[in-house]
Structure 1
């Protein structure tokens, strides 16, 4: 390797005043002179934060990554970026995904880095790190934090999906506070992200299926020592990737995105997968559309995990992990796609072995023939909406019902349990103004709770429609990401109580029984008002955020900007 191939030599290889400044200030950390002698400088982009509990162990993983980088002859430098904890951040972590991606992009570009290890866990940290890294396009590898151990409650296995069940049980009076506290104590009993196939684990599966991580990254539990081994090996591998000049743009081809979509169908991943993958594609310059997700949804559900099934991420790893799933999908995948370990996805899948057919079924005899994310179109969602059929009720797949409308999340919270609410089991709950611009930030509130008086009657599911998102841990017959959103002039915004809504999953349609003339008339009479701050990032976000069918990225961030520094101050 020649010094000219290393981007970091523009800093540490300089002579005179400039080189003295760059090296001398690094040496105040006890860095010996030989570390600057032509070694690849590897950034460890760390989203550790005590305010992001799922990522609370990432400093330990970073230490393992460093050991690997040193062993391979590199020079590791760890740096922090904005961390996004879904469980604590208000109004929603999704509001800040694009901000975190800006932090990542500018941190990588501005510093003397030749390659990057992306340490992520809680769901928004994964897409934000990948988005930012794509915009710079240096050699990069992802190390996920891993799922937490399966929770325990009264002798039963539990996970985050049970939060929704416990909530409804509490609201209906069938679960008391003492039981809730017992469940709370046993739910999150180790480091790591949600124990189910929620968005965090979906994102970990996404990066492995895209080829951005070493095999088994998706499912090794956070508490398992093999997670640290994978981090160490990833540290070693990134040094080699720099030598090979293996960049994100070499890996993230259209075929790689199609592989990820098929894998997401097989695992019944979160609906959030759609909005994050679209955003990543927009950064790297791959032409990916909402329709691609439905066209590739032919893959059945093969992984029996909550919320679509029974088991947990820990069980998936013991059953063979994602490599075993990839092996079952070999005939459908683009097996020639290159991955970060230098091998193709087909070569990686060839080593996959299934050890438990209750957890990972075969393609010919799947756990559930229904899977994936389907895309709906119609006058309610001209640019599309998404739905996860494996988590829905078969009886509601073709449904006609009258709308019960909530104008915003505050209206919903104020009236959902009102005994005088005019609603029955056939009604369609409609929640407006929770999209990217309308909230702003597109929160996970689409899986609205069942009205209390219907819970008392034994109703467990209803058709629910919104321009927001839902947690990957949630379930139900829920239509999400309606585009255009209410606040952007979409038809959802003019639906009124009593309007008849027709959901036809088989024909991929969602319509309100109103004439085009009536819809246009209502839109003309409706003033669209977006409430948001007049300053700072939120103002920037509302002014530039794109609609859900484009990935809800900022329009000013799409595409690659590269790693070049345009001006040099020294």
Structure 2
């Protein structure tokens, strides 16, 4: 160890010099068998791992972390792996979204409190990606993402089988066209490997956004989880983060307004999840990069859908990768002037340079700007008296004939009410009805679960009706499809107009006009709101109380209000 600290590295404040402070810190780490020369000015790289057997999408991260570690060592860095909370949407109750902000705090405080110069984020199941990005954004170190990758294509009875197909199989059971035995037979055929959902759900949407923003290496979004090429990528990520530290290439130098716009536009081009609106908004607010809900409409309005993939199309994520992956779409958008191709990325090159050699190998999967799969089908932002601060819909996954619709509301006060009544044969519902679900927003549930995909009542399914307009303050899974209006803001639990919708009220949806209206006189709405009573608190203590007391509304990213904005890498006090 040299007599003085090497300048420019955070970790040298812990490990540098010959004084007692450096001695103590080095000695404790030496207990792991770390050589002495690892403290002499080598970048310390955090490997932020969301591995968990409770998060099946991320259950191979133990393996991938080792490849990242090898890459860090090869580049002359010192790897330091650490765990953080891993909210998995499939098992976590009441919803993984309730834990997204908690995980972001876990990441933020771990990075700030420890001798870390740069970080690799291992993220997969959909909430882990925004949570890790949010936490890292608040500290602003050199940062690179490695997503888990999608699982292999499902295959059942000789045909491809994805999450969208599984949802349809569930409806077939309710209609009597399939049996529970069929479901049990399909169970092992859907999830054939480690990795996230094999469609363009929220996990692959967020992975695509990470790549579009320049925070990952090309192909990060689509290489299957169990493909050997993902292990190679993990190793290359480990090498690259060391150089990013040496170049002082921090997150704020990459995630600019132009990078955020690129992410919004790529989300439209791939038919990405509506959840991206909340997650990317929260990340941008942490970095103090301007992004509001209207930007989603403006930035994606003229972007065509280029990807024929479930839930908006037919193919699966493995097909997308084999057709050329996200680089093909990014290259086409850049060459068409629809992306900021000069945006800096984690490679040190521009977005256009990263993807200049991409080629499409299956035009039935990846279409072109010149001949798109679907035109102008990005996220549509709706406003009106029913959503003064906005609501969202994904036109590419909706039924075209329902994108302009006025019908009578059929109201469910909460998810329990919906589950109790939706399949009642006596339910007063028709194909013209608009299903309305209340008390499912950030404060109302709490945590804003993926219950906005209210299933079509069995009574209508038996009549051959496969879609119906649905409106709520909830979210829906990125794997879902239908004419579903989500994220109504302000939510019902804080006194938004949604709280006072009654059965039979006419609800107007006009996606082309970006309008969502409750066709009730303003005076009557005001009277109803005056008589409305706020729901009782969910909990008097713990995380749920902190969350519900401080969470922002959906249009603001549903972050905790005191976490918005920059905070930096300096610990609040350095006592050691």
Q: Extract unaligned runs of 5+ from structure 1.
A: none
Equivalence for 2:507: 501
Match of 2:61 among 41, 50, 58: 58
Measure the CA separation in 2 of the matches of 1:39 and 1:143: 22
Match of 1:379 among 375, 382, 385: 385
Q: Extract unaligned runs of 5+ from structure 2.
A: none
Equivalence for 1:30: 33
Equivalence for 2:363: 357
Q: How does 1:52-451 map to 2 (within 5 A)?
A: 52-297=55-300, 298-330=302-334, 331-451=337-457
Which string of whole-angstrom CA distances, capped at 9 and with x for unpartnered residues, describes residues 256-303 of structure 1? 111111111110000001000000000011010101111122111101
Measure the CA separation in 2 of the matches of 1:242 and 1:112: 13
The answer to whether the Cα contact below 8 Å between 1:487 and 1:530 also exists between their aligned partners in 2 is: no
The answer to whether the Cα contact below 8 Å between 2:5 and 2:17 also exists between their aligned partners in 1 is: no
Paired positions, count? 570
Between stretches 36-45 and 347-356, larger displacement belongs to: 347-356
2:312 aligns to what SS in structure 1?
A: coil
Q: How does 1:524-543 map to 2 (within 5 A)?
A: 524-543=530-549
1:212 aligns to what SS in structure 2?
A: coil
- State the shift of 1:452 in Å: 1.1
- State the shift of 1:2 in Å: 8.1
Under a length normalisation based on structure 1, what TM-score does the superposition of the two structures give?
0.99
Between stretches 389-398 and 529-538, larger displacement belongs to: 529-538
The answer to whether the Cα contact below 8 Å between 2:5 and 2:12 also exists between their aligned partners in 1 is: no
The answer to whether the Cα contact below 8 Å between 1:329 and 1:363 also exists between their aligned partners in 2 is: yes
Between stretches 14-23 and 141-150, larger displacement belongs to: 14-23
Which string of whole-angstrom CA distances, capped at 9 and with x for unpartnered residues, describes residues 471-511 of structure 1? 00000000000000000110001000000111111100010
Measure the CA separation in 1 of the matches of 2:500 and 2:17: 63
- State the shift of 1:336 in Å: 1.0
Between stretches 85-94 and 182-191, larger displacement belongs to: 182-191
1:421 aligns to what SS in structure 2?
A: coil
The answer to whether the Cα contact below 8 Å between 1:437 and 1:530 also exists between their aligned partners in 2 is: no
1:49 aligns to what SS in structure 2?
A: coil
Measure the CA separation in 1 of the matches of 2:328 and 2:514: 31
Measure the CA separation in 2 of the matches of 1:397 and 1:32: 64
The answer to whether the Cα contact below 8 Å between 1:379 and 1:512 also exists between their aligned partners in 2 is: yes
Which string of whole-angstrom CA distances, capped at 9 and with x for unpartnered residues, describes residues 508-531 of structure 1? 001011111111110000111144
Which string of whole-angstrom CA distances, capped at 9 and with x for unpartnered residues, describes residues 133-153 of structure 1? 000000000000100000011
Q: How does 1:477-556 map to 2 (within 5 A)?
A: 477-556=483-562
Measure the CA separation in 1 of the matches of 2:523 and 2:441: 25
- For the aligned residues, what is the CA RMSD? 1.0
Measure the CA separation in 2 of the matches of 1:565 and 1:435: 34
Between stretches 397-406 and 366-375, larger displacement belongs to: 366-375
